[in-house]
Amino acid sequence: MENKIRILIIDDHPLFRKGVSQIISDEPNFEVVGEAASGLDGIELAVQLAPDLVLLDLNMKGIDGLETLRRLKQTDLKSRYVVLTVSDAEEDLLEALKSGADGYLLKDMEPEDLRSNLVKAALGVTVLQDSLTEVLTKALIEPDTKTTAADVNLTDRETEILDCLAEGMNNKNIARKLGISDTTVKVHIKNILRKLNLTSRLEAAVWRHQNR
């Protein structure tokens, strides 16, 4: 990559921030541009620095990670947001995805796995800790409610886009593959989520994997 991926870390544990910063710095394509010890400081820094990627913890004093994420999503920032936490609780995972997280990783993952997942996240791929995929699938889909794209009246184009989401593609790549504009892709994704009664791209991707 010619341009470095600029990363902001929001976590209220100084030692953890330092450790993650060190792990990230071992990847030449990454640059840690800022660290914040609270959600409010993190939001302020994010607005100032406009990082490519924001890593945030869920459990912080003051406003927690979910509220921080919701407020960040209300800004005009084009950053991608990855939750990095100790919690593998189903409700935390689902709430983070509904709040707009682009990824959900656990703090105990191997350094090389963390780096590779952050590269993917920066490129527009939604990242999820392997051990959590089953948790998310169980939470979203009951075996006896299996449906197909036809059941929810998805158009052929929406089904194509859903397949692209299932492959982890971002809007730009989907637009290029299908020969349509980014804006058109966004409209289709909005319609897909409405029809499936889901709130995030990742939920839609999991739905597609389960309902082929």
CATH number of the CATH domain containing 175: 1.10.10.10
Query: Would you call 62 helix, strand, or coil by DSSP?
Result: coil
pTM: 0.68
Tens-place pLDDT, residues 16-75 = 899 999 988 888 889 999 999 999 999 999 999 999 999 999 988 889 999 999 999 999
Distance CA 33, CA 123 (A): 18
In angstroms and rounded to an integer, the radius of gyration of the C-alpha atoms of the chain is 17
Domain range for 187: 145-211
CB 49 within 8 A of CB 69: no
Q: Which pLDDT belongs to residue 143?
A: 43
Whether residue 134 lies inside any domain: the answer is no
Look at the chain and report how many structural domains it folds into: 2
DSSP-H helix ranges across 52-181: 65-73, 90-98, 111-122, 130-140, 156-166, 171-178
What is the average per-residue pLDDT within 113-117? Answer: 90
Whether residue 131 lies inside any domain: the answer is no
What is the average per-residue pLDDT within 93-112? Answer: 86
CB 30 within 8 A of CB 4: yes
Which band of pLDDT confidence, cut at 50, 70 and 90, is reported for residue 212?
low
| Same domain, yes or no: 63 and 159 | no
pLDDT at 171 over 80: yes
CATH number reported for the structural domain that contains residue 96 in this entry? 3.40.50.2300
Tens-place pLDDT, residues 172-197 = 899 999 999 999 999 999 999 888 88
Tens-place pLDDT, residues 136-154 = 656 655 544 445 566 778 8
Q: Which pLDDT belongs to residue 195?
A: 86
Task: Report the relative pairing of strands 30-36 and 5-10 from DSSP bridges.
Answer: parallel
| Same domain, yes or no: 165 and 103 | no
Whether residue 136 lies inside any domain: the answer is no
Which band of pLDDT confidence, cut at 50, 70 and 90, is reported for residue 126?
confident
Q: Which pLDDT belongs to residue 144?
A: 45
| Same domain, yes or no: 93 and 12 | yes
| Same domain, yes or no: 40 and 118 | yes
| Same domain, yes or no: 94 and 166 | no
